[in-house]
Amino acid sequence: MQKVMDKVSKYVKDDLDTKLKQAFIRELKDEDFKKLVSSLNLPQDKLMKYTSKLRKTTEQLKKCKNCSGLISCENEINGFIYYPEIQNGKLNFSHISCKYKRKFIKDNMYLDNIYSFDIPKDIINAKMKDIYTDDKSRIPVIKWIKDFINDYDGNKKQKGLYLNGNFGSGKTYLISACFNELAKKGVKSAIIYWPEFLRKLKASFNSDNDSFSNLFDRIKTVPLLLIDDIGAENTTPWGRDEILGPILQYRMQQNLTTFFTSNLSLDDLEKHFSVTKESVDVVKSRRILERIKDLTTELVMIGENRRK
């Protein structure tokens, strides 16, 4: 009985090997397939076991021939090719990046230097070359930003910007573009949407992990910081005195450059911080404003709402 089973097993194996060989030989008629397997320098009896996977690689390589960039990529994973690699005499397949993907990664490595919290993607990717210059009211701010980029030195005290103006005028975009330019030089920064940052921080306050202290310390100590849309949050003693106050105090003491955007002037921001649900506290509000004034230069940018 065992001899019969052995014969059947051998017949099945021989039949399978024959079919694999036939399929492999058929694929060799394709010059791209033939070029691929020739580059692998493995014997045919090993290569033919991977015929279907090698066919998949060949099809993807064909698509790459006329590809003009990531936007036109037709492979199953954008910017990647399913490609074989010899390891210990066997073929292992994995997705490797194409030349366009590698260039994209290289060109965007600077973004690793920027921490963002609840910031839209178009703001994160802001570029100075895309800044609108058609509105004369923007020119002084743009000049200030360009001068700051050229003069920035992390080893000396430099004031940031308190930039206020109407909704959608491009305040955050402009400062983000500034941070991106400096990120290319290795400068680390953070951009946080202040109202949501406070909510997140408060939610993590009583958690068992270190998320509260890690987030708080990151914002407090980062070389460049943008507090976006300050004044849009509901004023609370906790947010004003326990969070914002210590952040500003530390950054003043350590000469860390700080930026703000707001729809409120500094005078209006002082009024905003003086009133909470519990009380009116002009002294504590004034203390916050003194720190902001010490850290920044105030400029106004009024313009068209470009978010429409």
Residue 23's identity, in one-letter code, is A
Query: Which is more confidently placed, 1 or 240?
Result: 240
Provide the residue count of the chain. Answer: 308
Mean pLDDT calculated for residue range 90-118: 91
Is the distance from CB of 305 to CB of 167 less than 8 angstroms? Answer: yes
**Range with lowest mean pLDDT among 122-136, 194-208, 258-272:** 194-208
> What is the 8-class DSSP label of residue 275?
B
Q: How many degrees, rounded to 5, is the angle at CA 113 between CA 109 and CA 114? A: 110
Residue 159 above 80 pLDDT?
A: yes
pLDDT confidence bin for 146, thresholds 50/70/90: very high
Contacts of 139 (CB under 8 A, 6+ apart): 133
Domain boundaries, the chain: 2-103, 108-300
Q: Which two tokens stand for residue 221?
A: 């100590």
- The token pair at 245 is 């106050």
CA-wise closest residue to 160 among 65, 86, 255: 255
Q: Which residues of 153-175 are buried (b: 16+ CB within 10 A; e: fewer)?
A: eeeeeeebbbbbbeeebbbbbbb
**Could you tell me if 40 and 34 are in contact, meaning their C-beta atoms sit under 8 angstroms apart?**
no
| Closest alpha carbon to 235 in 269, 184, 192, 187 | 269
The amino acid that residue 137 corresponds to is S
Q: Classify burial at 305, counting beta carbons within 10 Å of its beta carbon; exposed 0-12, middle 13-18, buried 19 or more.
A: exposed
The pLDDT tens digits for 112-143 are 899 999 999 999 999 999 888 878 888 999 99
Q: Tokens for 41?
A: 């320098």
Full-prediction pTM beyond 0.85?
no
* End-to-end C-alpha distance for the chain, whole angstroms: 82
Phi, psi of 158 (to 5 degrees): -140, 130
Q: Residue 46 and residue 196: Cα distance in Å, rounded?
A: 57
- With respect to CATH, is domain 108-300 assigned 2.60.120.260? no
Q: Is 102 helix (H, G, I), strand (E, B) or coil?
A: helix
